[in-house]
């Protein structure tokens, strides 16, 4: 069941001005709930941008518009700093002969996916390097006053079981934290989507700010949501991820032939089909549905078992380290 607040959020984000009120009586909208909904999906800046772009602010109370306008302004200022700090980081890494590629929200901003840099809320600056440069980059970041949030734990346990990224680095004199990746996904999911192909492009010595191509960003967005956030095991959705895919023009990217990948892509679009945002028809036959569900049950069971075993191993290692 889609609430009225989510219906108007979807209409504002993805439909033309003439369709914003389709099937909606604006007087029945609870604007406080709309703010809570958009905030939970990290979409308040995008909500304001689209209301302003589509000239429909007259539909909303003045205090509502003023509130989300301020959120948008704060986010845009923050993203301006993010881009400056990403550029500064890139120059530092290249100066020290470390090739790298920006990922996720930072990459989307740098790729000019959005009409306005204020649309997308971003937590950290994510970038990926080669494994061989890991120690070098950690020392380099430390020299420039970036320090990990849990360095001791990383140095002992994380090196044994390689995570997708090192605990975030924070510089008290910078706005943005850094997430240094050597992998794209956690160990249990790397057979689905690994970093080898992307990492191979780091051999290119051209010293420019590098981002993945749009088909890669499309894939990474969906797999990170479906696997890392475990949405493949439920029907929950994320409007921030939907909006990213919408802005990436997913029709050009939806050419996945690998059946393992197709399960996750298909689940993403089937989950959001109720919103009628994309003109992409992905059907699931009874046999396919049975196969997909069986696969996911087995996968979830094996993942949980692996996590349990890993946890036991880490506990034992921790005890030995303390001894």
Q: What is the pLDDT of residues 133-150, one digit of tens each?
A: 999 999 999 999 999 865
* CA atoms of 132 and 287, how far apart (whole Å): 45
pLDDT value of position 297: 56
Do the domain assignments include residue 219? Answer: yes
Q: Hey, is 239 helix, strand or coil?
A: helix
Do the domain assignments include residue 300? Answer: no
* CA atoms of 129 and 161, how far apart (whole Å): 18
Do the domain assignments include residue 27? Answer: yes
- Of 9-23, 75-89, 157-171, which range is least confident? 157-171
pLDDT value of position 201: 77
Do the domain assignments include residue 113? Answer: yes
- Residue 8 belongs to what domain range? 4-275
Q: What is the pLDDT of residues 313-322, one digit of tens each?
A: 555 555 554 4
* CA atoms of 116 and 137, how far apart (whole Å): 32
Do the domain assignments include residue 95? Answer: yes
pLDDT value of position 76: 98
* CA atoms of 78 and 115, how far apart (whole Å): 16
Report residue 248 CA to chain centroid gap: 13
Q: How confident is the model at residue 257 (pLDDT cuts 50, 70, 90)?
A: very low
Total domains in the fold of the chain: 1
Do the domain assignments include residue 291? Answer: no
Q: What is the DSSP string of 142-174?
A: HHTT-EESSHHHIIIIITTS--SBPSPEE-TT-
Q: What is the pLDDT of residues 176-223, one digit of tens each?
A: 999 999 988 887 777 777 777 787 877 766 677 899 988 889 889 998
Report residue 80 CA to chain centroid gap: 19
* CA atoms of 124 and 179, how far apart (whole Å): 7
Do the domain assignments include residue 72? Answer: yes
Do the domain assignments include residue 186? Answer: yes
Contact of 183 with 227, CB cutoff 8 Å: no
**pTM beyond 0.85:** no
* CA atoms of 97 and 87, how far apart (whole Å): 15
Q: What is the DSSP string of 171-199?
A: -TT-SSEEEEES-SS-GGGTTTS-SHHHH
């Amino acid at each position: 069941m889609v609430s009225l607040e989510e219906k108007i959020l979807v209409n504002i984000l993805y439909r033309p001005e003439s369709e914003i009120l389709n099937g909606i009586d604006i007087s029945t909208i609870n604007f406080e709930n709309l703010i809570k909904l958009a905030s939970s999906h990290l979409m308040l800046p995008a909500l304001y941008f689209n209301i302003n772009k589509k000239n429909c602010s007259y539909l909303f109370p003045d205090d509502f518009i003023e509130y989300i306008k301020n959120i948008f302004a704060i986010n845009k200022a923050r993203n301006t700093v993010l881009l400056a700090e990403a550029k500064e980081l890139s120059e530092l890494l290249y100066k020290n002969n470390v090739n790298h590629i920006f990922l996720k929200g930072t990459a989307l901003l740098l790729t000019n996916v959005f009409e306005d840099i204020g649309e997308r809320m971003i937590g950290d600056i994510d970038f990926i390097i080669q494994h061989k440069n890991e120690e070098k980059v950690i020392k380099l970041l430390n020299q420039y006053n970036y320090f990990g949030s849990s360095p001791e734990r990383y140095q002992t346990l994380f090196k044994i079981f390689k995570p997708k990224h090192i605990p975030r680095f924070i510089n008290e004199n910078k706005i943005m934290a850094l997430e240094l990746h050597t992998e794209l996904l956690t160990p249990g999911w790397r057979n689905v989507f690994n970093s080898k192909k992307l990492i191979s492009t780091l051999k290119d010595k051209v010293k420019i700010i590098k981002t993945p191509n749009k088909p890669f960003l499309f894939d990474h967005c969906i797999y990170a949501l479906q696997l890392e956030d475990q949405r493949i095991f439920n029907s929950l959705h994320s409007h921030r991820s939907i909006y990213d895919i919408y802005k990436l023009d997913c029709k050009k990217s939806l050419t996945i032939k690998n059946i393992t990948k197709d399960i996750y892509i298909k689940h993403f679009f089937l989950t959001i089909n109720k919103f009628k945002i994309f003109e992409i028809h992905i059907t699931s036959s009874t046999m396919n549905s049975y196969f997909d569900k069986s696969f996911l049950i087995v996968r979830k069971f094996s993942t949980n078992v692996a996590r349990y075993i890993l946890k036991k191993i880490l506990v034992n290692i921790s005890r030995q380290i303390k001894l």
